[in-house]
Amino acid sequence: MNTGNEQGMERGYRVDVDDNFHYMDERERWTLGTFATYLEALAAAMQRVDKFFVKVEAGKTAEKLYAEYVAMGDDPFIVPCGGAPAPEKRFSAWNYARKCSIHRSQAS
C-alpha cells in the first residue's frame, strides 16, 4: 500500500474517504491509500467501515447503528487510477454499513 499520492503508479486503485458528518464537503476528504489491485482497495475500504462498528456500544438496533453511521461514519470509495479498469460493481460504503449494522445488532 502506498499512503501518499499516486504519482509513479501505473495502475491501481485509490481509496478516498469522505466524512458523513461533513456530507458533501470535499475539504474533509482524505486519501486512505493506493493499492495495486481492486481487491486490496476493497478490503481497505471495508475495514474502514468496520472500524466504525467496533467503536459503537453494544445493544443498539440495526436501524440505530445504521443511522449513526450515515450521520458520523467514514464513507470510503474506490477510484481507479493510472488506467486501471473500473470494477463491474461499485463498492458502496453505505450498503456495506447496512449489512454491518445488522450483523453487529445480532451479535450483541
Strands 12-19 and 30-35: antiparallel
Instruction: For residue 43, give every residue at least 6 positions away whose Cβ sits within 8 Å of its Cβ, in sequence order, or none.
Output: none
pLDDT digits (tens, 9 = 90+) for 37-49: 999 999 999 999 9
Q: Rounded CA gap, 51 and 47, in Å?
A: 6
Q: How many CA atoms lie within 13 A of 100 on its CB side?
A: 24
Q: Is 22 inside any structural domain?
A: yes
Count of domains for the chain:
1
Q: Is 49 inside any structural domain?
A: no
Domain that holds residue 20: 11-34+74-84
Q: Rounded CA gap, 6 and 104, in Å?
A: 35
Stated pTM of the model: 0.84
pLDDT < 70 stretches in the chain: 1-9, 108
Q: Rounded CA gap, 87 and 3, in Å?
A: 21
Q: Is 55 inside any structural domain?
A: no
